[in-house]
Structure 1
Amino acid sequence: MSDDFPLGLLFGLLATLILLSAFFSSSETGMMSINRYRLSHSAQSGNRNAKRVVRLLSRPDRLIGVILIGNNFVNNLAASIATIIAIHYFGDVSGPAIATAVLTITILIFSEVTPKTYAAIKPERIAYPSSMALEPLLKLLYPLVWLVNMVSNSLLRLFGVKSVEGGGDNLTRDELRTIVHEAGTLIPYRHQAMLLSILDLENVTVNDIMVPRHEVLGIDLDDDLDAILTQIRTSQHTRLPVYKGDINNIIGMLHLRNAARFLSRDEVTKAAIVQEAREPYFIPESTPLHTQLLNFQKQKRRIGIVVDEYGDVEGLVTLEDILEEIVGEFTTDVLEDDEIHRQDDGSHVIEGTATIREINKLLGWKLPTDGPKTLNGLILEHLEAFPEGPACLQIGATRLEILEIRDNLITSARCWQKQKRR
């Protein structure tokens, strides 16, 4: 047969088939390796190549079918031509074996490993141009592709695969976190932190970030009127809870902007203060932050009173507290915290009322947050008894030394991270 076709033509045809095999192999890898989210963004931005690739990937069974049909066809034809050439040079006995060995190595290097590796590294450079050939080829070979897919899909159903349509690329929260982490310099670090904080809002409740009850500053109507007016005039807060006798008996929330209405009068009464106070807004302590953020927006509120399951006041939370969970502290230097004091030896003296989440956030530690909310509570939980005096303990990688105890409360402790062994 080699006498019927010039050897030069056979070699040229064989080289063309090897190139076509490389095209089909790289197309398959490029199509399957392309970043679906970047592809979707390009398609929505009007990129024609991206739209074409999206159409092809919408039915991956048809795409893979046309690629493999073309790849197998050119590989088998290349094997036949290589055998004819080898028989011409080496005879009928050893020719086929030599052709198989040489063609296998050639296809492996030039039609499989090299083009597929390049396609895996630069999928868009392969997927976009190859889609211009694959789409019309799919239309041309559709009857054969349909027949192959019908048999293949029937076999897949035996294994419980009912749908072969693409598009099942929805991300879980953890997967989205990984993508944000791996964005590198494409997304500034501060923006990454904000995005991750938004994802964490569902896992944090108002109880985790609220101002605790003992730190809440409010107006007690049982106090002397002059003392109340002095408190209003000198307050650094824009909103103050108004209660009578006990903070559990909250009457309303006073915005100091409204206080000007009665402060300008010649005679001020407690009734006037109550009249200007707005009805209090109560929040269950287990409310997730992302829910409370929407509730603040819906209720047109900026501050709420946090209550437990019995209706007792646990503290208060503001819109600013939730926003700080997303964008970070609004203060100029978060390391100069009122409750966390860095020492020259690298340790930190931390007050017992400091919250675990705040400690972890400011110092980058990983103290457990699924139990007590404050350092005092965490230490007591691990000691399982109230210490009679200074004591030391270790929680994970953090070592703690109790410095001061007052009124059944651990008021301060020295803390430092245990150094990891290299």
Structure 2
Amino acid sequence: MTEAPLSALFILLAVLIVLSAFFSSSETGLVALNRYRMRHQANSGHRGARLAQRLLAKPDRMFGIILLGNNLVNILAASVATVIAIRLLGESGILASTLALTAVILVFAEVAPKTLAALKPERIAYPASYVLVPLLKLLYPAVWLVNLLAAALLRPFGAHRAGSAQDSISREELRTLVKEGGRHISLDHRQMLINILDLEHGSVDDVMVPRQDIVGIDLEADWEEILLTLETSIYTRLPVWRGDLDNMIGLLHIRSVLPGLTQGLLNRDTLEKAIRSPYFVPEGTPLTQQLLEFQTRERRLGLVVDEYGDIQGLITLDDILEEIVGEFTSERRHRQRMVRKLENGDWIVDGGATVRMLNRRFDWNLPITGAKTLNGLILEHLESLPDGRTSLRIGPHTFTIVDMVDKRIRKVQVRQVRG
């Protein structure tokens, strides 16, 4: 039997090294694929993505066929290299062939192809899937036997369910994915997505208009005062009560009385007939749940009540939407007056400003587990009513009370502590 020429052996060795590079890069490319992008492409009809998805659905089989092929070609390449070395250098060439083949496989069949696959996983993994899927079908008995032996070996270590990889992702992981991985999404859109994820952590107490700041109509007030309120209100919906805020009658949409108001024909009877029944919201209701409640009930405004039925504040649909997209309503100018920046870099903040809003707008890290407003936060830390110009430090900020009205902190100067 004639021996194969050296040229044929060298060609065979080169082919085996190429195949080794193929298997190595395929493994890295499939593992490095973005699962969500692959799923989107597969649903869009990309055949390569669908084949890759099939392989990744059974990772034990995928690794089985890749490692089986890779080890087979590497061992065969070592055998061919040994034959070449013996024919060229004799018995002394075995060590030289081992060292040379190790260097060649390490560079050309491992490091280089795997690096390329890690950088361009889709360009490697999708074409490779066209080869690996039929190859898996052809060599399935061998792959099944290898996986069976491997599973028996791993069973004592509690790894008997190989291949049950989960694509589930927690809310915090999704938040990190959007924040750090969504580079192709604009910064504004990325922030909206993060705000949606953070919405579940907030409740109506965090964004409601507190009781003392509710603007509405007292039916026991003078008629001229009621008309003035209707004519000058910056709000389109107003709560209506009789005598006391807890004696709530309902809600009034100014549009329903606008014709009579402009023509001077509006009277108390017409006003009361336009009042709609009130909608009450329990305090502590999560913002995500309240958003759905507004949608289901076709409401835009609700009155927040405590366990005793006393009104604590007012929540609107706009307040919740602004948690997602930022301030956009016609009351924005009024709200911006709650915070004013001084020339020296300090801030003058209204005591009624919510802690959640300050954290979001200025990237502060004020505690949100207790009080909901700056006024409440300061009182919570002082544990008593302040007397005069009082200062305290919370985190990296110093808060100085500059104005109080009726035991309520109205204005606070905020300064960031350096160092």
TM-score category of the 2 structures, normalised to the smaller one:
over 0.9
Q: Which residue of 2 aligns with 1:77?
A: 76
Q: Which residue of 1 aligns with 2:59?
A: 60
Residues 388-408 of structure 1, C-alpha deviation per residue, up to 9 Å, x if partnerless?
Answer: 222322211112222233432
Q: Which residue of 2 aligns with 1:97?
A: 95
Cα distance in 1 for residues equivalent to 2:98 and 2:12: 17
Task: Pick one of 306, 321, 338 that aligns with 1:323.
Answer: 321
Cα distance in 2 for residues equivalent to 1:34 and 1:47: 14
- Supply the RMSD in Å over aligned alpha carbons: 2.3
Cα distance in 1 for residues equivalent to 2:417 and 2:102: 58
Cα distance in 2 for residues equivalent to 1:365 and 1:143: 61
Q: Is structure 2 residue 132 aligned with structure 1 residue 134?
A: yes
Q: Is structure 2 residue 290 aligned with structure 1 residue 299?
A: no
Task: Pick one of 144, 147, 150 that aligns with 1:149.
Answer: 147
Q: Which residue of 2 aligns with 1:340?
A: 339
When structure 1 is superposed on structure 2, of 4-13 and 162-171 the one drifting more is 162-171
Q: Which residue of 2 aligns with 1:209?
A: 207
Q: Which residue of 1 aligns with 2:267?
A: 268
Residues 155-196 of structure 1, C-alpha deviation per residue, up to 9 Å, x if partnerless?
Answer: 444433454446621221112112211245411111111111
Cα distance in 1 for residues equivalent to 2:44 and 2:273: 56
Cα distance in 2 for residues equivalent to 1:419 and 1:245: 50
Secondary structure at 1:274's aligned position in 2?
helix
The alpha-carbon deviation at position 232 of structure 1 amounts to: 2.5
Q: Which residue of 2 aligns with 1:179?
A: 177
Q: Is structure 2 residue 207 aligned with structure 1 residue 199?
A: no
Secondary structure at 2:200's aligned position in 1?
helix
8 Å CA contact retained: 1:341, 1:349: yes
Cα distance in 2 for residues equivalent to 1:131 and 1:82: 29
Cα distance in 2 for residues equivalent to 1:260 and 1:114: 75
Cα 1:218–1:335 change in 2 (3 A) is closer
Cα distance in 2 for residues equivalent to 1:151 and 1:23: 25
8 Å CA contact retained: 1:367, 1:398: no
Secondary structure at 1:203's aligned position in 2?
coil
8 Å CA contact retained: 2:25, 2:117: yes
The alpha-carbon deviation at position 303 of structure 1 amounts to: 0.6
8 Å CA contact retained: 1:34, 1:123: yes
Cα distance in 2 for residues equivalent to 1:202 and 1:168: 24
Cα distance in 2 for residues equivalent to 1:260 and 1:385: 47
Q: Which amino acid aligns with 1:240?
A: L
8 Å CA contact retained: 2:64, 2:146: yes
Q: Where do residues 241-390 of structure 1 align in structure 2 (5 Å cutoff)?
A: 241-260=239-258, 268-269=267-268, 271-330=269-328, 337-390=336-389
- Quote the sequence identity (%): 52
8 Å CA contact retained: 1:25, 1:116: yes
Residues 274-311 of structure 1, C-alpha deviation per residue, up to 9 Å, x if partnerless?
Answer: 33211111111111111111111100111101111221
Q: Which residue of 2 aligns with 1:396?
A: 395
Q: Which amino acid aligns with 1:258?
A: S
Cα 1:167–1:297 change in 2 (3 A) is farther
When structure 1 is superposed on structure 2, of 24-33 and 362-371 the one drifting more is 362-371
8 Å CA contact retained: 1:30, 1:123: yes
The alpha-carbon deviation at position 267 of structure 1 amounts to: 7.7
When structure 1 is superposed on structure 2, of 126-135 and 78-87 the one drifting more is 78-87
Cα distance in 2 for residues equivalent to 1:326 and 1:267: 38
Cα distance in 1 for residues equivalent to 2:52 and 2:152: 26
When structure 1 is superposed on structure 2, of 202-211 and 229-238 the one drifting more is 229-238
Structure 1: gaps of 5 or more residues: none
8 Å CA contact retained: 2:371, 2:377: yes
Secondary structure at 1:182's aligned position in 2?
helix
Normalising by structure 2, report the TM-score: 0.93
Structure 2: gaps of 5 or more residues: none
Q: Which residue of 1 aligns with 2:50?
A: 51
